[in-house]
Structure 1
Amino acid sequence: MVTVATWNIENFFSPGTEFGPATQAIFDRKVALLASTITSAGVDVVALQEVGDLGAFDALLAALGAGWTGQLSTFFEPSHAIRVGFATRIPVTATSEYADIPLQLQGVPTDDAGAALTRMGRGALRVRVAVNGNDLDLVSVHLKSKLLSFPGGRFQPHDEGERARYASYALLRRAAEAAAVRYFANDLLDGHGTTRRLMVMGDFNDGVDAATTQIVNGPPGSEIGTGGEDQPDAGDGWRLLNLAPLIPPDRRFSRIYRGNRELIDHQFVSRALRSSIQSVTTITGAVALPSIDDRATARKDAPISDHAMVVSQLDL
């Protein structure tokens, strides 16, 4: 049995940095709570999002203890250097990264100046681990947030026209990044999804039925919980199955936004992994999940993430 998780650990920076907490004590508490939540859940590999500086990442690995190692993406936006990564107590045998927006979508505008989108804001990172002699490829991703920012670093628009435009830019960017993730999955599957064990997971910043999330699924049909789930078809070599329907209904959320529960963190598996899934749930740890709003800097000193960890058990 292997336990695999994904967790957005929310602006994880060392104290004294631009986005970090005010004091070392606040940082130390967050590290301890992150590590204890991962350990208590019996996690073997966790895909991480919003990892900031390397010092913070090293502190988390040290808190997890002997045998834990980590990998971080080299792709991130310099203005806010959060990136995806992995912490694992299973040795990594191979890695690769992906960040290119598909050529046909590189004309997607990202602001009023018409700057084109050529690369994901946070690249996707793949690690390969071996479990009982079986190769398992795991991908960590973090798509564009629905939180809007405006020219000059503003978080409030000058007017409703500007708000509407930048909401559209964010949606277009998230859709283009979802397509990039799908391209990466295509490369890794190469049509062999019935035999290649692949899990793509992370913060997709949208719900199960959102168009951007659906892009990652691949060919429609045979989704978990549908009548065609157990019927092989020609799309199985490329399809990714969202594990969301397997989460108990009362746990089917990973964030609370303005009082509303949302599942925006997902785990997708190739057909070869579907029969291995034993359970899926969300875990919030010792501190209750808060309800958040659009104030981007309000949680710099928060004791733990505003996301729940999504955890699955696989029998390999």
Structure 2
Amino acid sequence: MPAPRNPRGPLRRPPAVGSAVALALAAGLLAVPQAASAAGAEEAPAGTKARIHDIQGTTRLSPLDGKQVTQVPGVVTAVRSFGSARGFWFQDPNPDRDPATSEGIFVFTGSATPSVAVGDSVLVAGTVSEYYPGGEKAGLQSVTQLTRATWEVRSHGNALPAAYRLRPSALPARYAPDAAGGSIEKLPLRPGAYALDRYESLEGMRVSVQDAPVVGATSAHKDLWVTAEPRTDRTARGGSLYGSYREQGSGRVKVVSLIPFAQRPFPVANVGDELTGTTAGPLDYDNFGGYTLQATELGTLKDRGLKRETTRRQKDGELAVATYNVENLSPKTPQAKFDRLAAALVTNLASPDIVALEEVQDDNGTTDDGTVDAGQTLRKLTDAIAAAGGPAYQWRQINPVNDQDGGQPGGNIRTAFLFNPARVSFTDIAGGDSTTPVKVVRQGGKAALSASPGRIEPGDAAWANSRKPLAGQFTFRGERVFVVANHFNSKGGDQGLDSRFQAPARPSETQRTQQAKLVNAFVKQLLATDRRANVIVAGDLNDFQFSPALKALTAGGALTDLVDKLPRNERYGYVYQGNSQVLDHILTSRRMRSVDYDIVHVNAEFADQASDHDPQVLRWKP
């Protein structure tokens, strides 16, 4: 089979507004001539007479891929009249009896607005093709579509086929077939056995959700996530819990709108809210989240009143240590974000004694001119904290080698410590720099650092294009405490849960596992030097509590991952594609038993975020 073409190019996000004519056409509000064809499209040659289910077939790939089809009947169910991926969906009102074959399909017209209206009965001719969102190498599934299309409008105002209702009984608990990492494209669809197969069997068809809980907040791109399984794997605050590699949340579906925003503003929803009534439209697939309900009918938003959490203040005899990914913070960041981060640290986190920060950028942000210092960034944050009524935090950090630690190009992100000198002291030990590894030494019969702050094995290949861990030595009420701030490598390059390769490959976790082994070895050196050493490892580890990386980090009982101590439905601090999951962690050495741990939900579940991560805090009583 020849390589499928990619005629659409990259999908574009829907604009906030559009022309009145284009948006009216998208909603099916304007009439069209009795017969029409795609503007500027070549006349398609005569081809095989077919129905939509013949084109869609019983696998993910069309049996007619690359062939010309003609006189394909159906009713127009939706029109997309914006961006470079314009076109319309149409559906056969006379389906076959095979649940594996979809009765809907998308007609791609490029940058030309199709001259059809919702409810038109059409006969379509065109070329069958498989479009891979993001390109074939991205590993996603393909969308079967018609290109170079012409069509004849036979009549207007026809009733639309009833939408297939997504409900728990229709969605198998198993997410996808396992092909040992291979492609599932040619496997026969089994919509009664796998959720991904169910969605694929509905590709292009009208689907609906009823009274759907929101599990992914509205993004800046005007989309949100709902679940069609309101009683399955829910978090304590209404999200969809990603609890293991086998628990992917079968009911998650992204919702976007084809309704003109001037006519119906897109709902601004938080996790736990609900789209009451019916939300319906054709089921699409894209590279920004997989299966997507292109809504021509939107339910009414019911605000469930989700509140940002506030943790309790530490007692006099408790040390409070927090971790917070501040998401690409630099002096170029608007002051409003600094103020919100500061307010969260002071109020919601109750002014922790030590804060491990991640994604602190250099003093000119993404300008790549060799600047690596972050003094202005940290000064601006600590000033904002003081203005919010917080303590006069001091900071410690080590500048990275320019352009060597990943993140946004030119940003030189790094980890850093804030600490409140009125409650905890930092032990400054000279010798720490961007390339010199910190060592464990014995001092007065106890473990100590050769440099504080110092970086753990910064020259090791495990840290290539990634942030190096920052170790610091503190003293609290006479107790020596070692804190390691981390930001492991990202999941970039991993295949998505909805990949056509199952189980999806996670190549990025190899590097994180290597990084975890280095931190684990460093902690074991501290404990070998002093088995009673107080060690806290914190930060954005970019991986799940059940991942190989976290198993490597806790190996040998050196560390305890505190997230495992929480009730199962509270184990999350990040929301991705409607899945509430764990990426940030705080871990402690075995002696630190009297700990109180809290993930403070202030960002990830909300449409309005200061960061995409929720901070965490532990309180420890020596």
TM-score w.r.t. length of structure 2: 0.37
Which amino acid is the alignment partner of residue 457 of structure 2? D
User: Would you say the 8 A contact 2:573–2:581 is kept in 1?
Assistant: yes
| Mapping 1:90-129, distance limit 5 Å | 90-94=424-428, 95-100=452-457, 106=461, 119=464, 121-129=466-474
The reply on whether 1:70 has 2:363 as its aligned counterpart is no
Paired AA for residue 552 in structure 2: I
Contact 2:397–2:453, Cα closer than 8 Å, also in 1 = no
- 1:9 deviates by 1.1
- Cα separation, 2, equivalents of 1:118 and 1:207: 19
**Contact 2:512/2:549, CA 8 A, preserved across alignment:** yes
Equivalent position of 1:205 in the other structure: 542
Match of 1:313 in 2: 619
Distance 1:70 1:101, change over 3 A: closer
**Aligned 8 A contact 1:77 1:121 in 2:** yes
Stretch moving more, 51-60 or 70-79: 70-79
Letter in 1 for 2:383: A
**Equivalent residue number for residue 521 of structure 2:** 183
Task: Give the counterpart letter for 1:243 in structure 2.
Answer: L
- Structure 1 residues 79-135: Cα deviation after superposition (integer angstroms, max 9, x where no partner): 4411011111032114132343797xx4xxxxxxxxxx5657211111222111111
Identity of aligned pairs, percent?
23
Name the aligned partner's letter for residue 605 of structure 2. L
Regions of 4+ moved over 6 Å: none
- Looking at structure 2, the residues matched to 31 and 183 of structure 1 have their Cα atoms a distance apart, in angstroms, of 36
What are the Cα deviations for residues 174-208 of structure 1, in whole angstroms up to 9, with x where unaligned?
22211222232233322533x11000111111111
Report Cα offsets for 1:141-165 as digits up to 9, x if no partner. Answer: 110110239xxxxxxxxxx99xx89
Unaligned runs of 5+ in 2: 1-317, 363-373, 429-451, 495-499
1:281 paired with 2:598, answer yes
Q: 1:172 to 1:288 in 2, by over 3 A?
A: closer
- Contact 1:102–1:180 (Cα < 8 Å) also in 2: no
Over aligned residues, Cα RMSD in angstroms? 2.9
CA distance in 2, matches of 1:262, 1:83: 23
- Residue 552 of structure 2 is matched in structure 1 by 215
Note if contact 2:320-2:353 (Cα within 8 Å) is conserved in structure 1. yes
CA contact (8 A) 1:280 1:313 kept: yes
Secondary structure of the corresponding residue to residue 551 of structure 2: helix
Question: CA distance change for structure 1 residues 289 and 266 in 2, over 3 Å: closer, same or farther?
Answer: same
Q: What is the distance in 2 between the residues matched to 1:50 and 1:175?
A: 20
Does the 8 Å CA contact 1:203/1:264 hold for their aligned counterparts? Answer: yes
**Equivalent residue for 1:10, pick from 317, 327, 350:** 327
Name the counterpart of 1:57.
378
Matched position secondary structure for 2:468: strand
Residue in structure 1 matched with residue 579 of structure 2 by the alignment = 260
Give the gaps of 5 or more residues in structure 1: 16-20, 22-26, 107-116, 150-159, 221-238, 292-301
Question: 1 CA distance for matches of 2:396 and 2:609?
Answer: 24
Deviation of 1:68 after TM superposition, in Å, equals 0.7
* SS across alignment from 1:6: strand
* Contact 2:573–2:613 (CA under 8 A) maintained in structure 1: yes
Q: Residues of 2 paired with 1:289 and 1:81: CA distance?
A: 28
Name the amino acid aligned to 1:124: P
Residue by residue, what CA displacement relative to the aligned partner does 1:23-81 show, whole Å, maximum 9, x if unpaired? xxxx2111111111111122111111111122222111112225310112333527441
Aligned residues: 251
Q: Which secondary structure does the structure 2 equivalent of 1:272 belong to?
A: coil
Tell me, what secondary structure is at the counterpart of 1:146?
A: coil
**Following TM superposition, by how much is the alpha carbon of 1:313 offset from its aligned partner in structure 2, in angstroms?**
1.1
Residue 178 and residue 6 in structure 1: after superposition, are their counterparts in 2 closer, same or farther (change >3 A)?
A: same
Greater share of residues in helix? 1
Q: Secondary structure at the match of 2:585?
A: strand
Aligned partner (choices 296, 304, 308) of residue 610 of structure 2: 304
Q: Structure 1 pair 137/310, CA: closer, same or farther in 2 (3 Å)?
A: same
Displacement of 1:282 after TM fit?
Answer: 0.9
**Equivalent position of 2:335 in the other structure:** 28
Contact 2:456 2:471 in 1 (8 A): no
Contact 2:324 2:357 survives alignment (8 Å): yes
**Who is 2:570 aligned against?**
251
